[in-house]
Structure 1
Amino acid sequence: MNGADTTFSLKDDGCGMTNDQLINAMRPGSKDPNEERDINDLGRFGLGLKTASFSQCRKYTVISKKQSEHPVFWTWDLDYVYHHAKEWKLIASLPDGNWNEQIYNLSSGTIVIWQDIDHLLKGIHKDDKRAYDKFLQTMECVKKHIATVFHRYIEGNKIKIFFSGREVEAWNPFLIQHTATQSFPEEPLHNGKIKVRGFVLPHKSKLTPEEFRNAEGVRGWNAQQGFYVYRNERMLVSGEWLGLFRKEEHFKLARIMIDLPNSLDGEWQIDIKKSVARAPFGLKDNLKAYASLVRAQAVEVYRYRGKVVQRNSVTQHFQPVWIENQKDGKRYYEINQEHPFISSMDLKAIKPLIRLLEETLPVPLIVINESENPDSFFRPFEKVAASNELKELLKIVYKSLLNNNTPEQAKSRLLLIEPFNEYPELIECL
């Protein structure tokens, strides 16, 4: 950062533009949004370059070069337009710097240069450390935004994006490669033009701390639930229910991909910034029905970590420590007396203790903490996962299971018993 003299540049090694093409590209509204376009065209209004640049700076220059041709360049300068030209007039000028050298180093390509960056850096001195730190934070947010919006291009090796000289890694919101992620069948809509596919992300207990932090994205787990709308694999909407549902804590593991072609921009009311999309009325029922299935499964995983395991077990059942019941429309919780560790005790002797725990479970406090800070809870024995406490408890239950099972059967049973199902690596070591 160099205070008011800071410049930003964006460089690509694409096919470049001729002089006429560049002038047309710098003309606001250079495209008819209703004209038929190439299926891979990401533009629509012909405003992206101009609105993005003028939203951040008062002066920008574009240099472009076609293969085997000389580069061309033009500049928009708002101060020049206002004080001198009194009309919208491009000027042929290059900023100070080695821009000619940079463009000639490309066989073809384009460089966009921003100057007089008035929104982010107005009135900031280059020696202002606090401003510099804020500037770095903003740049980190920009990098994460790029990693999100263009993640499918990066993953598909269609392009490589570098930010301050470092390659940007894609952020995929669906954790597709994780073994605990549940994916739903793809649903074609609108005569196959639209494709919808749902994912239920793993419970926190199935993720490493690093995986958990990465999967929450820039806005956090609760905010990232919902539909992810893509147009030609570019993300337009990141985690919204499109007015069909409210965002609620227990649905935060549900994320649904919607793929659109650019021919449906009008029907989906894609805005100029390509950050807003609205589902057509005729598709809302289909989207709501599909999303309801994904959300229902997300609730199961969120509330009851063992349900996925239970469905995969035909003859045995998952044994949680606590069981949820209902009476007169109200929920209450009881200790599962069939849990192998609890059933091995003298139930008659500890029944008063069990009743005391059941009747004094601080449900209101848990609900408040869960809604205010949902990711602040430890998983069972997480604080002492490597200590002898959990291992000793595991050995006690394992030993009791060996009375009626082979060692392998006993280990399989342990994978269906809370909290041991959280620690398969310890079970393997028995």
Structure 2
Amino acid sequence: LDELAEQDDWVLSLPEPDDIQNLPWLETLGETGTLVLLEKLDRLAEDTDGEARSDLLSAKLVGLQRHLSLVFHRFIDGDTADRRKLKLHVNGIAVEAFDPFCRGQAATQELPVERMSIGGETIEIRPYILPHHSKLSPQTWRYYKDRSDFLSNQGAYVYRNGRLMAWGDWFRMIPKGEATKLARVRIDFPSTLDALWTIDIKKSRAHPPPAVRARFKRIIERIAGRSVRVHRGRGERMLQADASPVWIRTVGRDGIISYAPDFDHPLLQAAIAGADSENEGAVRAALSALGAALPVDALYADFADDPKRVSLAPDSTDKQREVIAELKSVLDPDREMEPREFARLVLSTGLAGRNIEVIEAVALELYAA
């Protein structure tokens, strides 16, 4: 770049054979290969020095490694036709492929592939539905969330000859949202269709031709519903007939969703019954106030950030035992239930955690006393 600026012309400098032998990393090429050597990166450090310079360079190298692991993940994994696995290194450290479709996870849904022909060439469209966080270990969830934020990276992943060119976009057909954050669509097209995809000079952007957009729109409508069902599935199970959540969910005629305390729940009925006639109204008002003060925004933010950290269960075994004992005194004071029947009722409230084995063990102890 310095010589181009000095000559003010497009010139190419050819190094002498002796100079080539002195290039760093030359020995890594073997008999054949290509070495891209970037030097005089005076703007890379952005006018920093000392420890700040070192931290900045390290962060940019990490970003480079992650970018390569995503853009060339199919080459690194050998997931390209008629091509050997590609080996990439950053500072001597091998780059491992990052699969944005979580295909290594059993709970990932790979939907049927669709193929279409344009100009005698084939375009493949493969939809995926990523697993709900409850199907992943905390470590795996954080790994994928850190590398590929679920909300912002939903959408199409466009590959040209196996190389990822563009991702995280629904081509303005639908907005990105929580309900579709688990949906991904892999689109493969050959380089012979570059003109139809309006590839830019940097080969970093691609816009689908009308025929592909029409097919893609139909696929979006189908997979968006699948993603919604995966995302909402666990919440819907909380509202089944055999459950006893303290909250009730209602949908008004205008489509507005609201949550409120269920005053028919045995726990709330007991609280109201325990008050005298003068204070019954105050108890109902207090419970209604708690319902109106539900911190929806805070819950949404915490859950979107890391659902693995959000829990309403007691934070210790002793507290869990206390909660179950209190529930027994309200839900079955006369011991009319079987221990396991009571345990299932406690589980349905969600107030003592979600581990049925622990709840059953405590219930058996309480009923044996």
TM-score interval (norm. to shorter):
0.7 to 0.9
Q: Does structure 2 conserve the Cα–Cα contact (< 8 Å) formed by 1:149 and 1:234?
A: yes
Match of 1:99 in 2: 23
Alpha-carbon distance in structure 2 between the residues aligned to 1:249 and 1:185: 24
Match of 2:305 in 1: 375
Match of 2:367 in 1: none
Higher relative CO (Cα under 8 Å, sequence separation at least 6) belongs to: 1
Alpha-carbon distance in structure 2 between the residues aligned to 1:361 and 1:278: 47
Secondary structure of 1:361's counterpart equals helix
Aligned residue pair count? 341
Cα offset, 1:141, TM superposition: 0.6
Q: Does 1:138 align with 2:95?
A: no
Alpha-carbon distance in structure 2 between the residues aligned to 1:261 and 1:405: 65
Q: Does 1:326 align with 2:251?
A: yes
Alpha-carbon distance in structure 2 between the residues aligned to 1:159 and 1:198: 25
Q: Are residues 196 and 383 of structure 1, via their aligned partners in 2, closer, same or farther at CA, if it must alter by over 3 Å? A: farther
TM-score, normalisation: structure 1: 0.63
Alpha-carbon distance in structure 2 between the residues aligned to 1:193 and 1:414: 55
> Where does 1:289-368 land on structure 2 (aligned, <5 Å)?
289-307=218-236, 321-329=246-254, 330-335=256-261, 342=266, 346=270, 349=273, 356-357=286-287, 360-362=290-292, 365-367=295-297
Cα offset, 1:262, TM superposition: 2.4
Q: Does structure 2 conserve the Cα–Cα contact (< 8 Å) formed by 1:228 and 1:235?
A: yes
Alpha-carbon distance in structure 2 between the residues aligned to 1:200 and 1:387: 36
Unmatched 5+ residue regions in structure 1? 1-57, 59-77
Residue range with higher mean Cα deviation, 277-286 or 292-301: 292-301
Cα offset, 1:146, TM superposition: 0.9
Cα offset, 1:243, TM superposition: 1.6
Match of 1:41 in 2: none
Q: Does structure 2 conserve the Cα–Cα contact (< 8 Å) formed by 1:205 and 1:379?
A: no
Q: Are residues 383 and 170 of structure 1, via their aligned partners in 2, closer, same or farther at CA, if it must alter by over 3 Å? A: farther
Q: Does 1:90 align with 2:13?
A: yes
Match of 1:241 in 2: 170
Cα offset, 1:322, TM superposition: 3.5
Q: Does 1:169 align with 2:96?
A: yes
Cα shift readout 1:5-29 (whole Å, capped 9, x = no counterpart): xxxxxxxxxxxxxxxxxxxxxxxxx
Task: For 1:379, give the aligned amino acid.
Answer: V
Cα shift readout 1:144-183 (whole Å, capped 9, x = no counterpart): 1111111222233712322212222222222223344333
Q: Does structure 1 conserve the Cα–Cα contact (< 8 Å) formed by 2:262 and 2:268?
A: no
Q: Are residues 376 and 190 of structure 1, via their aligned partners in 2, closer, same or farther at CA, if it must alter by over 3 Å? A: same
Q: Does structure 2 conserve the Cα–Cα contact (< 8 Å) formed by 1:205 and 1:422?
A: no
Identical counterparts, % of pairs: 26
Q: Are residues 375 and 107 of structure 1, via their aligned partners in 2, closer, same or farther at CA, if it must alter by over 3 Å? A: same
Q: Does structure 2 conserve the Cα–Cα contact (< 8 Å) formed by 1:225 and 1:252?
A: yes
Alpha-carbon distance in structure 1 between the residues aligned to 2:154 and 2:249: 25
Alpha-carbon distance in structure 2 between the residues aligned to 1:95 and 1:124: 31
Secondary structure of 1:110's counterpart equals coil
Secondary structure of 2:43's counterpart equals helix
Alpha-carbon distance in structure 2 between the residues aligned to 1:426 and 1:86: 76
Q: Are residues 367 and 302 of structure 1, via their aligned partners in 2, closer, same or farther at CA, if it must alter by over 3 Å? A: farther
Alpha-carbon distance in structure 2 between the residues aligned to 1:189 and 1:413: 52
Match of 2:72 in 1: 150
Alpha-carbon distance in structure 1 between the residues aligned to 2:303 and 2:349: 27
Q: Are residues 426 and 151 of structure 1, via their aligned partners in 2, closer, same or farther at CA, if it must alter by over 3 Å? A: farther
- Give the one of 185, 189, 193 matched to 2:122: 193
Unmatched 5+ residue regions in structure 2? 80-84, 275-279, 363-369
Task: For 2:97, give the aligned amino acid.
Answer: A
TM-score, normalisation: structure 2: 0.72
Secondary structure of 2:165's counterpart equals strand
Q: RMSD between aligned alpha carbons?
A: 4.3
> Greater helix percent: which structure?
2
